[in-house]
Amino acid sequence: MNSAQTLNVVVTAIEQVTPLIKHFTLAAVGGDPLPAFSGGSHIIVVMHTPARAHRNPYSLLGSPRCLDRYEIAVRRMEESRGGSHYLHDHIRVGSRLEIAHPVNLFGLDKIARKHLLIAGGVGITPILAQLEELQDGSTPFELHYAVRSPQHAAFAQRLRERAGASLRMYYDSENQKLDIDALLSGQPLGTHVYACGPAGLIDAVVATARNLGWPGSHIHWERFAAPPVGDAFEAYLARSQRSVRIPSDRSLLESIEAAGVEVPYLCRGGVCGYCRTRVLELDGELVHNDHFLSDAEKASGASIMPCVSRARCERLVLDL
Ligand code: FES
């Protein structure tokens, strides 16, 4: 992904859908149809603030059939590094934004016999678009959606219309707990499970499915975690012959981009593998935070996913 592949869009509507979540509708500047996407896709929103550029991934929640607009929902993160606060506080109807083309790393499996969709909080967004694809009724599904309280249930009306009796809501405020073990134990062969939401929910779904013997190919999840902070260090980009300082609150990828060197990426969340970069030298240890490299690959220290991983060292030399 690079700047040549981005699109300019204008914000056409903003709605506060829960105390923490704003819903933004975007249209192409000039009104042309936007690129096609499928349920589960995300876009990267590029925000140029005075201090820095932010590139945050957000799932598309609207219908893949309506290409006159994209819809995203942005949760105000308590510990935002700036991106979500910028969208909440500075973006108005009429504001322009730069976005990357949609990418789908969380699509519905075409040969699944049944879909079991599990979402928590703002993790409902990719599932909203997936529901649009399930409207023909050819594949059965269940949707389980856990939120803090009824006022935090974003898009509840839209969900009821799309999912009908297949929707089950769980409110923490009413002590309604999602029993993941029971849910995953009672599914017919050929069911695929999809989880999106807080890390704890995703980890629990994935671990439970694996413990119950679900094939890895039937377990899908989407997580957009901000890159973890860490110690500052120095990276040297061997091919570009540039030194880059990585501050504690910026990712390695962001720091390399700020230095004008492009690295391919899709998810910016440590799952797609696109940003994989060869490590040439290191005088300390890598801090792997991704979900892409195997344990053996992480232990070898031969490569790093700079979107989320960093190093504890004085100097890291990369093949960039
Ligand atoms: S961009 Fe997807 S793993 Fe880094």
What DSSP state is assigned to residue 187? P
Q: How far is the CA of 42 from the centre of ligand 1 (A)?
A: 13
> For 144-194, what is each residue's pLDDT tens digit?
999 999 999 989 999 999 999 999 999 999 999 999 999 999 899 999 999
CB 99 within 8 A of CB 9: yes
Residues with CB under 6 A from ligand 1: 265-268, 270-275, 290, 292, 305, 307
Lookup: tokens for 158: 């839209």
Q: Counting atoms of ligand 1 from 1, which one is nearest the CA of 266? A: 1
Lookup: tokens for 188: 């017919």
Please report which confidence band the pLDDT of residue 232 belongs to, taking 50, 70 and 90 as the band edges.
very high
Element (H, E) at 210: helix 199-211
Q: Counting atoms of ligand 1 from 1, which one is nearest the CA of 308? A: 4
Please report which confidence band the pLDDT of residue 3 belongs to, taking 50, 70 and 90 as the band edges.
very low
- Predicted pLDDT at 51: 80
Alpha carbon nearest to ligand 1 atom 3, residue: 270
Q: How far is the CA of 182 from the centre of ligand 1 (A)?
A: 33
CB 46 within 8 A of CB 100: yes
Lookup: tokens for 194: 């999809």
- Predicted pLDDT at 79: 67
Sequence length of the chain is: 320
Q: How far is the CA of 272 from the centre of ligand 1 (A)?
A: 5
Q: How far apart are CA 267 and CA 275, in angstroms?
A: 9
Contacts within 8 Å (CB) and 24+ apart, 210-218: 212/181, 212/184, 212/185, 214/184, 217/109, 218/109, 218/112, 218/191, 218/192, 218/193
Strand partners, 220: 194
Amino acid sitting at position 161: E
Lookup: tokens for 65: 């059939």
Closest CA to 82 of 122, 52, 123: 52
Percent of the chain predicted with pLDDT > 70: 98
> For 215-226, what is each residue's pLDDT tens digit?
999 999 998 777
pLDDT average, residue stretch 49-60: 89
- Predicted pLDDT at 80: 63
- Predicted pLDDT at 319: 98
pLDDT average, residue stretch 19-46: 96
Q: Counting atoms of ligand 1 from 1, which one is nearest the CA of 290? A: 3
Q: How far is the CA of 280 from the centre of ligand 1 (A)?
A: 19
| Ligand 1 pocket test target in 307, 310, 318 with most atoms within 8 Å of CB | 307
Strand extents, DSSP E, the chain: 6-16, 21-28, 41-48, 53-59, 70-75, 96-100, 103-104, 114-120, 141-147, 167-171, 191-196, 219-222, 233-237, 242-246, 277-282, 285-287, 303-304, 310-312, 315-318
Q: How far is the CA of 274 from the centre of ligand 1 (A)?
A: 5
pLDDT average, residue stretch 243-264: 94
Q: Which residues of 7-44 are buried (b: 16+ CB within 10 A; e: fewer)?
A: bebbbeebeebbebbbbbbbbbeeeeebeebbbbbbbb
- Predicted pLDDT at 223: 85
- Say yes or no to pLDDT of 1 above 60: no
* Secondary structure class of 2 (helix, strand, coil): coil
Q: How many helices (H) and strands (E) does the chain have?
A: 7, 19
Q: Counting atoms of ligand 1 from 1, which one is nearest the CA of 275? A: 4
